[in-house]
Every structure is written in structure tokens, then in C-alpha cells.
Amino acid sequence: MAKVKKTPRPKAETPKGFRDYFGAEVTQRTEMLRVIGEVYHRYGFDALETSAVETVDALGKFLPDVDRPNEGVFAWEEDSDWLALRYDMTAPLARVAAQYRNDLPAPYRRYTMGPVWRNEKPGPGRFRQFYQCDADTVGAPSVAADAEICAMLSDTLEAVGIDRGDYVVRVNNRKVLNGVMEVVGLAGDDKESERGIVLRAIDKLDRLGESGVRALLGDGREDDSGDFTKGAGLSETQADKVMGFMAALGADGAETVANLRGLVTGSEIGEAGVDELETIAALLAAQGYGPDRIVIDPSVVRGLGYYTGPVYEAELTFEIKDEKGRPRQFGSVAGGGRYDDLVKRFTGQAVPATGVSIGVDRLLAALTAKGRMTTQAQGPVVITVMDRERMADYQSMVAELRQAGIRAEVYLGNPKNFGNQMKYADKRNSPIAIIEGGDEHANGVIQIKDLILGAKIAENATLEEWKDRPSQIEVPRSALVAEVQKMLAGQG
């Protein structure tokens, strides 16, 4: 008789490029999104939640470093139609703006938060699923809408805990770069591929440096892994002009604008872009947003292909240590810009739009690096079980604590070993354990154990500041809530 082949067990591992998020991380993200949402709401933006799945046609071909519409996304065919997980929050908004154009107010101001997915090569800190937090204005042609987004981005960073001086919002205009392209001979539909390579190369200046960008402007570049990226094929003269565009940053906004005017002389679209930058700078100055928060910077390009005008990026300027202990700046945590042609794909009519996207995971990492986030959240108060026959008594205690707004739980594992219950509380990072055995129950009292104090005494039993504070107290059962509140307050 043939031996039955056993079905192999699945591997318990996260797919490549993805990760799992536990307790404190999820709680911190939720709290940060709440703060961001409050700022967006204060600016008059309404919440929107779109489907995680869109048609590939609706998403379009706008991802950087890809050549086909369904490359770079997670896509599948269904009933002769191709569907895909959204790769950002902007393409779905364009679909919504077109689909509900007769019902939405004009302009339409929305914010949204959630995960996006990109089928790209993963790397250190680069995942295929990550959170974004967007705010957009659809239907406002004035660059006053772009200035407002930049001001809101500045306010948002400060609201979540990034100090002024630790960040800068950089603003540029794709029309200026298009003017440079025109001047160097890269205008026209037949040059679309070369323009895309130039845009992506400039967008990588902070990561690849001048030499890396020059290589991509020329024949191409091979990275450390041996992968080769095709270049734009520009001549030295053409490349010099593009590099001059990135070096146009002056001592102040006025000097930068003057430098840019000199680069795009003779290009109508380029000169229009410079005018818009001047207007944005004036509007921001009128609101009190100076160069300590927002600056005009030609090096900002943004990799996505749908931007048509002003573009902006929030960069954190403080230093952190990389995996090898070397100091480096944290870098970009948010970006966006104007995309006046995106909704037009659906309606055939031009609809002006502008918006920003915050990389939630990177911003959380930045706050952690600044010491604004703890790596472990405080756990619940744990009510130990000394007598499983009196589970109703323990559940009564936990209900009282919860009704008072205190996070609490009853130990629901095997109560036979009290030591295991204490180990559980320690693993949960619990601040307090409640103990009521038979004797305590008979006498109408409970034991309240301060686990935070106990841990500190265990670290250094001679600490003077802890000598007068008992790590465990006996109180009347009726004083449960009041004494727990008092102990939690004492723990800070």
C-alpha cells in the first residue's frame, strides 16, 4: 500500500517586504493619526475612506521606476478586468472626484488615512505595505491652495512633536523644471521617457549624491547590488543645465527665484512656474511662515509622474545614527504637489487639484528617534485569580476599574501557579496587580501590588526615593478604584 504523503506545514513567517505591528506601535500610530486628523479637520478638510482595491485603469501608470501600468502594484485579473491594491491615496481620490463630481462641493477638501501597497523591491526600512495620511483640495486653481497645504504640513509636524528647527518644508514647481527641460531640448511627447528618467534622478539627489544623479542623467548607473538603471542619455552640456537647476538655491527666496528665472529664460511654462513660486512665498510670509519653516528649494522634484505645478516635501533635519553608527539626517517624511491633469483622465475636463501625503511609519520612526515615543506602552492592571470558584468576584472588580476609565483585565490563563500570573503581568508591562485570596475576601480587603515600583526596587534596592513607598498595600475592597487611581498617578 502506497504511503500517504503528509501535507507540509506552512511556514510561520511574514511575507518578504511586509511586517507585523504589535501593541505599542499600533497605539502610537493611532494616536498620531488622531493628532494629524485634528489639524486637517481644523483647516476645514473632511474625512474620506476609499476602497483598498481599484481597477488598474483607474490607478494609471504613475509609479516611479516602472514602465507598465500593472508593474509595481499587486494586481490580478477578474472577469476580464484587472484590479489592484492602491499604491497611494491620490489616484483613488481622482476617481472619487470624477465619480461623485455632481454631489461634492467645489472645491472639495478631503483627508484620508490608511495602508497602501507597492510591489517593489524591499530593503532596509522599505516595506511593500505602509501607511499614508493625505490631505487634498480638488477644484482650486489658485496656488493659494498649495500655500495652504504647505502651512498645514508645517503645523502638522509641530503638532505631532517635531520642533521648529528640526524640519523644513521645501517647495518647488514642476513647471520650472519643465522649462529647464524645454531649454535643454527634452520637450515633446517623443521625449517622455527621457524626462521621466531625469525626474526620478533628481528626486534621488539626497540618496545618490551629485555623482549618482549625473550618472543617471547620462548613460546610467549600477548600484551596490549590481543592478543597472538606464540613464536619460543627456550630453554633458544638457546635464550641466539640469544640475544647475538643482544648484539654484540662494541665500533667500528672492535670490532662488532670480536664479531660476535665469535658467528658464525664453520658456513660457518655466517663467509661469517661477511666478507661482513667488506668489506662494508671498502668501506664506503673510501668514507668518518664514524660512525657518518653509523655503523655496529647486532640488525638490517628487518622483510620481502626475505632478503638474508646485511640489513640496517635508524634510527632518536632525541627525540620527544609521545601522553602522554613522551620523546622518533623517530625511523626508512627507511630500506632495499639484496634479491638475489627474481627474481629467476620467472626465476629459481639466480639474485643478493639489495635496500632500505623510509617510506615517517614517514619521513614527522619527518621533521615536527624537525620544518622543516609548518603545513599550503601559499594559493593563491585572487582577490575579487566587480562587477560580470566585471568578464572578474578580470580574466585578475589573468591571469597576473599566467603568472608571482604567485599562484592566482578569488573568484568564491557568491560575494554579501564582508566579506565572506575575510573569504574565510583567510581560504585559502591567503597572499594578490586584490580589484577593480567601483570607482577603473573608476580611473584606485586597492587596494592590505596585509593579513599577517593584521593578525599580529590584534594579536598585538602596534607592532612597523608594524607601518610604511600599510596593504592596492592603486596602478595603471598597477602595479598589480610588487606590488604583492614586497608585497610577504616583507612577506618573
- The pLDDT score that the predictor gives to residue 33 is 95
Per-residue confidence band for 464, with pLDDT thresholds at 50, 70 and 90: low
Bigger pLDDT: 450 or 196? Answer: 450
Q: Mind listing the pLDDT tens digit for each residue in 98-131?
A: 999 999 999 999 999 999 999 888 877 778 999 9
- The pLDDT score that the predictor gives to residue 24 is 84
* Cα–Cα nearest to 331, from 306, 356, 314, 347: 314
Is 397 part of any domain? yes
Is 6 part of any domain? no
Q: What is the number of alpha carbons within 13 Å of residue 377 lying toward its C-beta? A: 13
Is 4 part of any domain? no
Q: Mind listing the pLDDT tens digit for each residue in 19-45?
A: 998 888 898 899 999 999 999 999 999
- The pLDDT score that the predictor gives to residue 52 is 95
| β-pairing verdict for 46-47 and 445-450 | unpaired
Q: Mind listing the pLDDT tens digit for each residue in 211-243?
A: 888 888 888 887 877 788 888 888 888 888 888
DSSP state string for 428-486: TT-SEEEE--HHHHHHTEEEEEEHHHHHHHHH-TT-GGGTTS-SEEEEEGGGHHHHHHH
Is 374 part of any domain? no
Residues 181, 91, single domain; the answer is yes
Residues 362, 398, single domain; the answer is no
Query: How large is the average pLDDT for residues 386-399?
Result: 95
Residues 461, 358, single domain; the answer is no
CB 243 within 8 A of CB 213: yes
Quote the CA–CA distance of 448 and 261 in Å, as a whole number.
72
CB-based contacts of 35, cutoff 8 Å, min separation 6:
159, 160
- The pLDDT score that the predictor gives to residue 209 is 81
* Cα–Cα nearest to 309, from 189, 138, 176, 153: 176
Work out the burial of residue 279: count CB atoms within 10 Å of its CB; fewer than 13 is exposed, 13-18 middle, 19 or more buried.
middle
How many independent structural domains does the chain possess?
Answer: 2
Per-residue confidence band for 436, with pLDDT thresholds at 50, 70 and 90: very high
CATH of the domain at 408: 3.40.50.800
* Residue finishing a domain among 347, 369, 391: 369
Classified as helix, coil or strand, 175 is helix
Q: Mind listing the pLDDT tens digit for each residue in 301-348?
A: 775 567 889 999 999 988 776 666 677 777 889 999 998 888 888 999
Per-residue confidence band for 69, with pLDDT thresholds at 50, 70 and 90: very low
Per-residue confidence band for 68, with pLDDT thresholds at 50, 70 and 90: very low
Query: How large is the average pLDDT for residues 450-478?
Result: 73
Strands (E) across 199-305 are located at 220-222, 228-230, 294-296
Range of the domain at 53: 23-369
Is 121 part of any domain? yes
* Residue finishing a domain among 344, 369, 394: 369
Residues 432, 478, single domain; the answer is yes
Return the C-alpha cell found at 163: 520642533
Query: How large is the average pLDDT for residues 275-287?
Result: 93
Residues 119, 58, single domain; the answer is yes
CB 38 within 8 A of CB 159: yes
Q: Helices (DSSP H) in 5-114: which residue ranges?
A: 23-42, 56-59, 90-99
SS3 content of the chain, % helix, strand, coil (to 5): 40, 20, 40
Q: Mind listing the pLDDT tens digit for each residue in 347-391?
A: 998 899 999 999 998 898 888 887 777 666 789 999 999 998 999
Bigger pLDDT: 203 or 278? Answer: 278
Residues 342, 397, single domain; the answer is no
Q: Does the pLDDT of residue 5 top 80, yes or no? A: no
Is 212 part of any domain? yes
CATH of the domain at 296: 3.30.930.10
Bigger pLDDT: 470 or 54? Answer: 54
Residues 272, 331, single domain; the answer is yes
Residues 155, 296, single domain; the answer is yes
CB-based contacts of 240, cutoff 8 Å, min separation 6:
none
Residues 316, 401, single domain; the answer is no
Mean pLDDT of the chain: 87
Bigger pLDDT: 468 or 479? Answer: 479
Is 279 part of any domain? yes
Q: Does the pLDDT of residue 403 top 50, yes or no? A: yes
Return the C-alpha cell found at 44: 476645514
Residues 306, 406, single domain; the answer is no
- The pLDDT score that the predictor gives to residue 288 is 93
Residues 123, 235, single domain; the answer is yes
Is 353 part of any domain? yes
* Residue finishing a domain among 346, 369, 392: 369
Residues 345, 232, single domain; the answer is yes
Does pTM top 0.85 for this prediction? no
- The pLDDT score that the predictor gives to residue 235 is 84
